[in-house]
Structure formats: C-alpha cells, structure tokens
Amino acid sequence: MKINKEYKEITNDILNDKNFIKLKDDNHHGSNRYEHCKRVSYLSFLIAKIFKGNTEEAAVSGLLHDFFNGVTNSTDDISYLTHPYTSAINAKKYFNINENEENIIKTHMYHYALVKHAFPFINKREKVNAKDYKPTSKEGYIVCLSDLLVSIYEVGVFKVRYKACLYFIFLINLFNYYGG
Ligand SMILES: [Fe+2]
Ligand SMILES: [Fe+2]
C-alpha cells in the first residue's frame, strides 16, 4: 500500500537504529516503549496526512517523542515533565532532527501539563507552567493528541488484559485451594 511504503521510507532508519531498538527493553503501558513510539508515530503520520500537515516531521517526532531509557518518574530527567526534554536531547544526539521536530518532542506532554495546571494537587512535587508545553506547530498538536489517544488505548487494552489475567490466575488458585 502506498501510504505504508511512504511511512516505512520515512521511519526505517530510526526503527532499525541500535539505540532506538533499546526502547524495546522498557515496559510502557503494559507494552514496550518501542511499540508505543511506533503507534504514536504512525497515528501522527496519518492525522498529518488528513490535515495536510508535514507527514515526515509528524512521523519522525512521533517516533522520537519518548526516546529515553528507564522507568518514567524514576529519576529527575525522565519525570512526566522532564522526559520530553531528555528525549529531545537524545534525538538530537543520535538523529538529524530539525528545529520543528525538536519542538514537537519537547511539547508532546501538553495534555499532561493542561491537566496538571487544572488540578495542581496531581504530582505536587513538580510545578508546571502549561505555556511552556504549548505546541508551536500543527504537527506539535498532532503528536500531542496522538500520544494521548495511543496512551488511553494502551492502558485500556494491555493493562486491563494484564489485570484480567492476574484475576484469572487468582481465581484458579482459589478454586484449587477450596476444591481440594
Ligand atoms: Fe512522553
Ligand atoms: Fe508517549
């Protein structure tokens, strides 16, 4: 299919890069961060196509928006609010990204910044000025929206499935215990 071929040509180098592949080691929303970034990238690419945005910038920054290793919030540089900056530093270090792509990566947590601005009691340790996370381009809003939609999907599908398995195992053990 023509769209898939175009998407592959844009993203192939990054998807096969040894540093990027390391994201497969990180658990993310019940899946891994490599798959999460791929989903955000592909959805961003499609939305950019529909709304006549820059498909290449949307796909590339979608892929690199969470380009860091480790568990989110485990250290200061990969907290909910700092990981976009860490990802942008890594993206610049390993790939030839342009200024807009850098800004898209840095502002992809605008959805979280808005929620945190409205409800400051969430994660009190970190203060936020939502304006600092406001996307500066159409593609920035697209990646931010895609990240939100994909995250909701992943938490729904993978975590619920994981919990369902745990409950199932628990019930089997319970039946085994009382049954015999
Ligand atoms: Fe992120
Ligand atoms: Fe993300």
Q: Model's pTM, two decimal places?
A: 0.88
Q: Which residue has the tokens 């970190």?
A: 126
- For ligand 1, the distance from its centroid to the CA atom of residue 92, given in whole angstroms, is 16
| pLDDT tens-digit series, residues 28-58 | 877 899 999 999 999 999 999 999 999 999 9
| pLDDT tens-digit series, residues 51-98 | 999 999 999 999 999 999 998 888 889 999 999 999 999 999 999 999
Domain ranges for the chain? 2-148
- 2-148 architecture in CATH? Orthogonal Bundle (1.10)
Nearest ligand atom owner, CA of 133: 1
Tell how strand 27-28 and strand 31-32 pair up. antiparallel
Tell me, what DSSP letter sits at residue 25? G
